[in-house]
Every structure is written in structure tokens, then in C-alpha cells.
Structure 1
Amino acid sequence: MTQAIATHVADGIITLHQGQIETFNSAATQMFGYEPAEVKGKEISLLLPLADEDGGAIAQSNSTQIAPQIMTGKLFQPVRQQRGMGKHKAGTPFPIEVSVSDIPVNDRRLVVIHDITAKEQAEAELKRQSNELNRLNTALSKTKSELQSVYVACYDLKSPLQAIAHLSKWIEADLNNWVVEETQPQMNLLRERVDRMEGLIHGILQQTPGKDEG
């Protein structure tokens, strides 16, 4: 790869000689905060630590697939977009994808590093929205079930209320002249409350989605 390409690509490109940093392009400088002179001759573990002070969170990400292939040796398996954690000069960790290739000249490795911070943030947001959608679907199902229960209860109340209304009329008819001045207001109040309850039930049934009073 020519120096011009390495200078203008967005990914960090690092060449290693016997496990030590030999070249460090401008994208790697922006990514990690080091100038090439600061890292030349240093171990790659400066950027992809295999041990850290926070209990190993970064190291665990880097020690499985990436580290064994970066160090020189007779055995080599190319690494393709393996996720790990980089460490900025300021000490801030950030997610990366690392590809490692063998350069058949003087035992060198070519390391290409892509900062996937934005990608992981997008994935996290997508997961959050998916979880929120699942929560809303669960709440909607619960609400639908509750509305169904209300609908059934209201529908079941219609017949008893109608029976009470008819019964009050029959009682009034049977009593006829026996309905005195004190009794008549009570009969009227009974029918008024039955009518009011029927109106409430009718309103609830009308507002229940997908249902027909019949």
C-alpha cells in the first residue's frame, strides 16, 4: 500500500515489525491521539491493551482473537473485522474493528483499525427502540385485554338492568292505585337510575374498538 493511500484513508493503518509499531497514519493519529513519533517502536498493546487498570474489560476484548495475530511468529491466521477495544492517549476506551494481514516482507504485519463508536451507538439505539416497541406492544395487549373484560362486564349488565326496568313498570302497573304519593318518587328514581346506568354502559360499549353492541 502506498504512503498516499495510507495518508488519506479514514481507517487507522499501522505496520508492525516484530510486534512493534513502525508506521502510523494520520487517521490512526486522530483515532488514538498519538503522533507517529510517540508510538514508533512501541508495542501495539499501547493502543490495544492486553491488561488495564479497570479489571480487564478492555483486555478481555482484545486477548482472544486480535493479540495472537498481531505479534509476529511462524503461525499466522488473518483477522477480519474482529471487534475489540482501543485506548486513546487520554485513557478513554472506544470500540474498534481490527483486521490484520501478513506482509511477506521482513516479518511485518499490517493492522487496519476502524472506529465503530457511531456504529455501536446506532446499534444500541436500535436495540433501545426495539425494546420500547416490545414494551408498547405488551402494554397494548394488556389494555386490549382489559377493554375486552370491561366490554364483557358491561354487556352482561345490560340484561339485568333491562329486567329491573321492566320489573319496576310491572310493579307500578300491578299496584295501580296503591302507588301513593310517597312511593311514586321512589319508583321514578329507580327507573331514572336504571336509565342512567344503561346510558353509561351504552357509552362504554360504543367506545370499545371493534365491538358491536348487537
Structure 2
Amino acid sequence: MATVHKGDIAASNDSFFKSNAYPDSMARKIGQYTVFLVDDSPDDRSLAVETLKRSPYIYNIHCFNSSEELAIHCSSGGGYSGNRVHFLPTIILLDIHMPKVSGMDLLLDLKKNPLTKDIPVVMLTNDASPETAEAAHRLGASACVLKPVRLDRIHEVICAGSAWHDNDKATHLQGLLAAIVESSDDAIISKSLDGVITSWNTSAERMFGYTSAEAVGKNISFIIPADRREEETHIVAQLREGKRVMHFETMRVGKDGRNVDISLTISPVRDAAGLVIGGSAIAQDIAGRRAVEAQLSRYMQALEKSNLALSEYAHTVSHDLKAPLRRVVQYCALLQEEVGDRLGADGTEYVARLVVQTTRLQQLVDDLLSYAQVLSAREERQELDLNKVMREITESLDCLIAENRAVIKIGDLPVARVYPLRIRQLFQNLMANAIKYHGQEDPAVAAECVDQDKYWLFSIRDNGMGVPEEYRATIFKAFERLYSEEEIGGSGLGLAICAKAVEMHGGRIWVESAPGGTGSIFFFTLQK
């Protein structure tokens, strides 16, 4: 049953705001329409309302007593005024003969207004002359109907207006899609299942050198190299099954004979019945990306050669430095043994200092070699049982553990894909530091691991001196030390080696310390 509204009109000085109340698009979607009826005759208006109320399609009927009332309402384009809703109709039924402003004058204004020009208007008249109907049509009326109103004529106009509206929307959408295709930076080509090109956008012209006139109607094979024709057979087979081909990297030939590296995404095109009738291909030029990849590959090869040369150089320098240093230590030992009693107190002290400094230099050379190995060593990741690795490391630290009466506790460690050399250097340095940097109490060191989805989280906990907050970031840099060599021996490279080893495994390393020198926890993650 249609709802009838009377006098639901806003004053001309009301403020209006855009409203979505009863939108025309929703009315069409559910098959129910809103009608504005304008007639100064109460009897004709009542008779028309009774007729319209019998329609299963009409949802709202709004009555206006004059052209002026409708003009005030429609000039706003719909909105709110006080507690009343103002909106635009699906169709307007407009009496021709009204005082002051006639229906013809109002029709002219409605068709000039962008907000109302597309609303179908049916002129209502008692005049059956052809001249009246022709005049109404010239001004833009959809129909001219004799009173009393016949429901079938109103339905005809509503259906005709809806069909025109839908066709207009489809035409607009088609034009919009065509504009998007033409403005795309990627080549967009459509073709039939037998390979005949049906569309070829501007970017395809630019990419391959052929104009649309040259390409449309030809088989797509004319841009496919002879040795890649089987690709098209595979693509068509995928399309026939309704499947998409995503990001397929291949090569095509331009008009000038050059090879064009492209990435293809091809989707099936279906008809109204859902049958696949062709394909739509989007081709992206990847020549720039390929050039960058080639340049990056050259840089990687050069870097690999440089790292290899650095590794070889480090081994050479290590050998050439360590041999003379060993001899200096040996000669010092001989000097003390052969003529130690004639050196006197000062001479004996000088020789002892020489031995200490030479030993430190040997340690520095060893650490520099380790650091170079971490940076440049060529090795593949392997599945290693880190429990076994840790046992081997604690065995190698036996003397240091015994000397410091250290207590070592190793939790359950995982089997992980790691770089063997780097992981041993990492554990070795962290465990040795935890033992060496102890406080008044005997060292207590605990190593544990927690599974964190994509990473392993390791922790090395000690009860040593701790790390002041201001040094927690810098201690992982090369040659950064918290204590002098006289206090605690070392080269300042141990934690730098650890940081590089962790970085090679795609993880990160950091330290946390409780205030007051009550120990530290070194955390690091290793990517699985």
C-alpha cells in the first residue's frame, strides 16, 4: 500500500542538506517508486491518488497544491528542514493548467535544473489536442496523459525511464573503464581463445611499437618469439579452464625487433552466460627491474671476490705476524733461562713486560683473524645440534672455568640451521666473557633458549659486573672496551664478532643488566 503525504513542503527560506532518504537508486533496486503529484484541483488530485495507490510498485505519493510548492522543494535537491525530509522523486505527475505558474513553465524550469532534468515528467491534462502533447514533448515531458490518470500509462513511463537510466549508467561505466584502460601504464590487451587480438591500449602501442590499427585483428603470436610459442598454448589451456595466469615472466618481440622483458597477468573473459570467450592480458615492462637485478648480481659477485681476497689476506697477515711474534716470545724465554741471573731486577721486569705485550699482540692478531672470518668466510647453513656445540665449547674453556671456579648450566638448546663457524665464535665469546667479567662471587653462567615462532631467542645469563646503561649499545662495536687490558685481558673485538655472527643469521643482539652490578643477560635471536 502506498503512503500518501500532503503538504510536506518546506518554506523557500529553509536551509537544506543533502539526504539519502528514499534514494532513487534504492527505489529501483527494490522495485518501488516515489511519485510527486502536482495538481491544484483537490478532486483530480484525490482521484489520481486513489488510482496510484493500487500500484504494487509505488511506495510513496507526495502531493503538491501548486507549481510553486514543487519548485521550492526541488530547488534544494533534497534535504532536511526542521523535522521534515526533502528528497527527489522517481517520477513527477504535473498538471498543465494551474494558476500563477503553469505546468508548462514549471516543466521548463525542471529540465533546466541539473538536479531534476533526468526525472521523468508526465503532464496531466483535460486537453486532448495534438498541439498540447507536442508542446509538452518539446519541453522534455516523457508523456502527456489525459485525466483521469490511468495506471498502465504511468507504469509505461516508469519502466521506460528506468530502462533509460540503466542504459545510461552502463554506457557511463563502459566509458569509465575504457578511460582507465587507456590511461594505464601497463599494456592491456584482449584476445579471443584462438589468439586474435580484439583490443590494444596506448601502453601496448608504446611497449611493442605497433599501433592499435596494426595489432587488432592479428594473432597474438606475431609478438611471441618462435622459441616461446608453447607458452601461448599453455596460457590458452589455463584460460579455457577459467584459471588466471599470474605474474608470468617472459619475453616478447617489439616492432623494431628488440626483445621486451615483461611480466604477464592473464584473466579469462566471460560472456553473459559465464562461458570463457577470451582473455585479458596485462603486460608490465620489467626491463628496468631486470637491469637493476643484473647490476646487483654484478655487485654481489664483486663483493664475494673482495671478501674472498680479504679472507686470504687475513690468513696471510696472520701467518706472517704470528710467526715472528712466537719467535719473540721464545727468545724472551731463552734470554730469561740463559742470562736471567745477570739481567738484574729491572732487566727481568722488562723481559716479563715484553712477553706480556707480545702475548697480547698475538691475541689481537687471532681476534682480527676471527673477525675477518666472520665477515668473509664462505660456508653454508647446516642443521646442528646446539647442545653438542655448547658441550664442545665448554670443554674448550675447561682451564678458564677451573681457574675461576665457574658454575655452568646449559638448558635444552635446539637443532637449528646455522653457519657452523660463526655460531661457534658467537657461543665461545659470550661464554668466555660471562666467566671473565665476574665480580666478587664465583662466576655462575646459564645458557637457555626459547622458541619464538620464526626465531630462536637465546640468553646467556651471568652474575658478573653488569653493563652500565650508557654502554649497552656501544659495546658491540669493534675495539670498544669497558675495562682496560690491565684489569681484564682482551682485544675489544669479542662482542663485535658476536654482533656480526648474529647479523649473518638474520637476528639481533642486545644486553640487559640490573642496576648495581648484579649481572647481565645477553640476548640474541637466530632466524629459523
* Short-chain TM bin: 0.5 to 0.7
Q: Using structure 1 for the length normalisation, give the TM-score.
A: 0.66
Choose 1 or 2 for highest CA Rg.
2
Given the alignment, which residue of 203, 214, 218 partners 1:38?
214
Structure 1 residues 13-22 or 25-34, which shifts more?
13-22
Indicate if the aligned counterparts of 1:70 and 1:100 stay in contact, CA closer than 8 A. Answer: no
Give the match for residue 259 of structure 2.
93
Take 2:321 and 2:216, find their aligned partners in 1: how far apart are those partners?
Answer: 75
Give the match for residue 5 of structure 1.
180
Aligned length: 171
Structure 1 residues 17-26 or 100-109, which shifts more?
100-109
- Note the C-alpha offset of 1:70: 3.9
Structure 1 residues 39-48 or 154-163, which shifts more?
154-163
Take 1:69 and 1:159, find their aligned partners in 2: how far apart are those partners?
Answer: 75
Given the alignment, which residue of 63, 70, 73 partners 2:230?
63
Structure 1 residues 101-110 or 21-30, which shifts more?
101-110
Indicate if the aligned counterparts of 1:6 and 1:13 stay in contact, CA closer than 8 A. Answer: yes
Q: Which amino acid is 1:103 matched to?
A: V
Take 1:68 and 1:16, find their aligned partners in 2: how far apart are those partners?
Answer: 15
Q: Deviations over 1:190-210 (max 9, x none)?
A: xxxxxxxxxxxx9xx799696
Instruction: Return the structure number with greater relative CO, CA threshold 8 A, min gap 6.
Output: 1
1:124 aligns with 2:290: no
- Note the C-alpha offset of 1:39: 1.1
- Note the C-alpha offset of 1:74: 3.9
- Answer 1 or 2: which has greater strand percent: 2
* Inter-CA distance 46–117: structure 2 relative to 1 (3 Å threshold): same
Find the residue that maps to 1:77 and give its secondary structure.
Answer: coil
Indicate if the aligned counterparts of 1:19 and 1:71 stay in contact, CA closer than 8 A. Answer: no
1:48 aligns with 2:224: yes
- Note the C-alpha offset of 1:150: 0.6
- Answer 1 or 2: which has greater helix percent: 1
Give the fraction of aligned pairs with identical amino acids, expressed as a percent.
25
- Note the C-alpha offset of 1:47: 1.7
Give the match for residue 188 of structure 1.
none
Indicate if the aligned counterparts of 1:84 and 1:95 stay in contact, CA closer than 8 A. Answer: yes
Given the alignment, which residue of 140, 143, 149 partners 2:310?
140
* Inter-CA distance 33–123: structure 2 relative to 1 (3 Å threshold): same
CA RMSD after TM alignment: 3.4
Indicate if the aligned counterparts of 2:195 and 2:221 stay in contact, CA closer than 8 A. Answer: no
Give the match for residue 179 of structure 1.
none
Take 2:264 and 2:307, find their aligned partners in 1: how far apart are those partners?
Answer: 38
Find the residue that maps to 1:144 and give its secondary structure.
Answer: helix
Give the match for residue 103 of structure 1.
269
Find the residue that maps to 2:213 and give its secondary structure.
Answer: helix
Indicate if the aligned counterparts of 1:70 and 1:111 stay in contact, CA closer than 8 A. Answer: no
Give the match for residue 153 of structure 1.
323
Give the match for residue 24 of structure 1.
200
Take 1:134 and 1:116, find their aligned partners in 2: how far apart are those partners?
Answer: 27
Take 1:74 and 1:94, find their aligned partners in 2: how far apart are those partners?
Answer: 26
Give the match for residue 189 of structure 2.
14
Find the residue that maps to 2:313 and give its secondary structure.
Answer: helix
* Inter-CA distance 73–209: structure 2 relative to 1 (3 Å threshold): closer
- Note the C-alpha offset of 1:152: 1.4
Q: Using structure 2 for the length normalisation, give the TM-score.
A: 0.29
